[in-house]
């Protein structure tokens, strides 16, 4: 996997949040997504610090998106979770990898990195939500066909 488990959990949680601006409790999200509650709560707090989520304490509190899901890119979430340098550096970990001293994967990784970066900049949380809806409908269709 290119990114950490925490980044995957963050993307899944953001895609599961309602678009209508209502707050969701971390424990409810964790249950719905079958993720570890305390770990997800910590991830969500990090997304609050990155201004991707807003949080409110109390019985009607929880977490919600700070802006519409079509205005939050996957790249923004990856940068918040992995750091702004997530896609920088040598894929093999060599400190001196570059134009004068490329590692064996330097050119191939450069092409992949460009494509991944472009895709993450274009893909939004709304795209993930729509993909999730399609998967749910496909699952329902398979269940009803078994009938």
The 10s digit of each residue's pLDDT in 10-29 is: 999 999 999 898 999 999 99
| pLDDT tens, position by position, 20-62 | 989 999 999 999 999 999 999 999 999 999 999 999 998 888 9
Cβ atoms 133, 69 nearer than 8 A: no
Domain ranges of the chain: 5-146
Average pLDDT value over all residues in the chain: 89
Whether 13 and 41 have beta carbons less than 8 Å apart is answered as no
User: pTM, whole model, 2 decimals?
Assistant: 0.84
CATH T-level assignment (fold) for domain 5-146: Arc Repressor Mutant, subunit A (1.10.10)
In sequence order, what are the residues at sequence separation of 6 or more whose Cβ sits closer than 8 angstroms to the Cβ of residue 141?
none
Task: Give residue-wise pLDDT tens across range 91-143.
Answer: 888 888 887 889 999 988 888 888 988 999 999 999 999 987 777 777 666 65
């Amino acid at each position: 996997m290119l990114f950490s488990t925490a980044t995957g959990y963050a993307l899944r949680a953001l895609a599961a949040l309602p678009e209508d601006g209502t707050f969701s409790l971390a424990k409810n999200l964790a249950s719905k997504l079958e993720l570890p509650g305390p770990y997800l709560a910590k991830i969500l707090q990090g997304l609050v610090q990155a201004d991707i989520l807003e949080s409110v304490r109390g019985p009607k509190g929880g977490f919600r998106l700070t802006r519409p899901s079509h205005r939050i890119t996957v790249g923004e979430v990856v940068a918040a979770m992995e750091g702004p340098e997530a896609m920088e550096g040598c894929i093999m970990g060599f400190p001196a990898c570059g134009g004068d001293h490329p590692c064996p994967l330097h050119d191939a990784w450069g092409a992949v990195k460009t494509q991944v970066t472009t895709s993450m900049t274009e893909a939004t949380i709304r795209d993930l939500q729509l993909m999730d809806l399609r998967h749910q409908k496909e699952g329902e269709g398979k269940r009803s066909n078994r009938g």
